[in-house]
Structure 1
């Protein structure tokens, strides 16, 4: 199979997809498209986890699995506009403080003269 430009691959930004994103998005591809990705991977990065994933999906497709109705061009969750967690702002940040010179904040050190043996 001819070496394709990464811009002409069945998955946009294939080279930048993490393995989890690739795993979910490759399910929408046909056997021919998975073979294209596999040939590209062998000629470029040849990353073992990726080739194993693509080989496994290709085996599934040859065994009768059908591509899902997902959109390979959809916005990737790992680069999406929604962020998890709360935003950090001066209003939500804790007050700065320095650690105590010794001991813990609730157990202050005592001078030696106050100790009993």
Structure 2
């Protein structure tokens, strides 16, 4: 098998897809497209979980399975259009805290006048 160029792969940004979402994306690919991904994976990162997943899917397709309703153009989890950024806001932030000049908050130091 040939090593397909990165820009001809059937999944856009394949190198940046998380392994967890890859299984659903390869469901819509043909046997030739899965074979191209497998060849690319073996010649580049050669990640065992990914090669096992692609090999299993390729075997299914060669045994008569049909491509199903996977979505190779689906958004990646890191591109989710939901809320982004830090969950911290002024409403969830703690009140400012300044420690006492001596002692701890629950065990205050004694004033200098009481020391003898």
Q: TM-score range by the shorter chain?
A: 0.7 to 0.9
The answer to which of 47-56 and 61-70 deviates more is: 61-70
SS of match in other structure, 1:97: coil
Say whether residues 1:95 and 2:91 are aligned partners: no
Say whether residues 1:32 and 2:32 are aligned partners: yes
Q: TM-score, normalised by structure 2?
A: 0.75
Give structure 1 regions of 4+ aligned residues with deviation exceeding 3 angstroms.
Answer: 83-87, 98-102, 108-111
- Report what 2:42 is aligned to: 42
CA contact (8 A) 2:25 2:74 kept: no
In the comparison of the two structures, how many residue pairs are matched? 107
Q: TM-score, normalised by structure 1?
A: 0.74
Shift of 1:86: 7.9
Unmatched tracts of structure 1, length 5 or more: 112-117
Query: Matched residues in 2 for 1:99 and 1:10: separation?
Result: 59
CA contact (8 A) 2:26 2:70 kept: no
Query: Matched residues in 1 for 2:107 and 2:95: separation?
Result: 24
Shift of 1:78: 3.0
- Report what 1:74 is aligned to: 74
Unmatched tracts of structure 2, length 5 or more: 110-116
